[in-house]
Amino acid sequence: IKIFEAGHPTPDENSMKGTAEALKLSENVSDEDLVIVCISGGGSALLCKPVQGIDLQDKRKVTNLLLASGCSIQEKNAVLKHLSAVKGGQLRREISPGACISLVLSDVVGDPLDVIASGPTFPDCSTLDDCSDIIKKYKLEEKLPTPCISHLTKDASVAETPKPGSGMFVDDIVQIVANNRKAAKACRRKAQELGFRTLMLGSEIEGDALEIGDRFAEIVRKISEENKTNGPIAVIAGGETTMTLPESPGLGGRNQALALRAMQKISGIKNVAFLSAGTDGGDGPKHDSAGAIVTGSDFRRSEELKIDSTAYLKHADSYNFFKEYEKKLYNFEDDTGVGKVHLRDGPTGTNVMDICVMLIGDAAED
């Protein structure tokens, strides 16, 4: 088995090389062969073969523009599928007439098969018209490379992806081997083992990271006010939020931004802790954090240390906020600096979106 370590969230040369090797395997597939395809989140970047007329740099630019726009993963992958020669069911076309089993590790809310890794072996429910709407919605008409715009405006008979109803998908077998729901349930079991009552908010949390931070903080506040003598509660939620980035963003992804906003909003609440983290062990490129853990006292402490959390949020620089905060906390000579707020456990080898855990003690306790 050949392994190609490639780029994510934007494709690189190894993405192209690995895809070329995968396509070589499909060249001699017959109707007596069974092809097993393992699919996971990240596949949109790792599996990369642009359509004719578009090069890797074009594809990288489109990916980065979409990531910075604040669009949903469904919208992002709709565009990427239509600029690809292997996504949106087109890898399945390459391995025809062989039989196909797809084993899927889901990183998308609701487990839509045509969106996870841009659905290389599944019929594509998105269309060229959808792509046009997405580009207009996020004002990308003047920003996308000209070859990409040209391809997306071609006639559907030339540039459209395989759709539901195509015969090549009829007898395929699909198994979702893991998803966010399973991860959230595992969190709930562990919390119960530790003596927490639990409340599940589901595994379909979507929307702007800062707005979700506000909502979760309000939930924490309300439960804390009402939880007088019934013992600690763990509130668990899963899903994947988005961010709209400024022109020159700093470091830190949606989980650290969500946790930083929640930190501001739960300020002053006793006996609460809030975690937001990526299940893959990462939260954006160029740093080592999967997310952050904050409490009801962290905002006050950051203010005392003269670290402006709002300014860091404005510049999408939550990683450097927490880095600076940790650094100053550990300069203290008392117990104030005990513990870390960044979660640094390294790559987990899986990716089923993000998990938020809110721990709430009795309000009556000091």
- Per-residue pLDDT tens digits for 35-70: 999 999 899 999 999 999 999 999 999 999 999 999
Given a cut of 50, is residue 333 above it in pLDDT? no
Q: What percent of the chain has pLDDT over 90?
A: 85
Q: What distance in Å separates the CA atoms of residue 298 and residue 45, rounded to the nearest whole number?
A: 36
Q: Which pTM value belongs to this model?
A: 0.86
Contact status, residue 112 vs residue 41, Cβ threshold 8 Å: no
Q: Locate 226 and state its tokens.
A: 């009402």
Q: What distance in Å separates the CA atoms of residue 261 and residue 61, rounded to the nearest whole number?
A: 29
DSSP readout, 235-281?
Answer: EEEEE--B----SS--S--HHHHHHHHHHHHTTT-TTEEEEEEETTS
DSSP state of 208: B
Taking residues 71-82, what's their average pLDDT?
96
Taking residues 68-97, what's their average pLDDT?
96
Tens-place pLDDT, residues 294-316: 999 999 999 999 999 999 999 99
Given a cut of 90, is residue 365 above it in pLDDT? no
Given a cut of 50, is residue 74 above it in pLDDT? yes
Phi-psi region of 275 (alpha: psi -120 to 50; beta: other; left: phi over 0): beta
In what helix (H) or strand (E) does residue 176 lie, and over which residues does it extend?
strand 173-178
Q: What distance in Å separates the CA atoms of residue 356 and residue 274, rounded to the nearest whole number?
A: 7
Tens-place pLDDT, residues 158-214: 899 999 999 999 999 999 999 999 999 999 999 999 999 999 999 999 999 999 999
Phi-psi region of 118 (alpha: psi -120 to 50; beta: other; left: phi over 0): left
> Which strands make up the sheet holding 354-360, listed edge to edge?
197-200, 233-239, 354-360, 272-278, 291-295, 342-343
Q: What is the pLDDT of residue 332?
A: 47
Q: What is the pLDDT of residue 166?
A: 93
Q: What is the pLDDT of residue 229?
A: 62
Where would I find the H helices in 138-253? 146-152, 156-159, 180-193, 209-226
Tens-place pLDDT, residues 239-283: 999 999 999 999 999 999 999 999 999 999 999 999 999 999 999
Contact status, residue 222 vs residue 258, Cβ threshold 8 Å: no
Q: How confident is the model at residue 344 (pLDDT cuts 50, 70, 90)?
A: confident
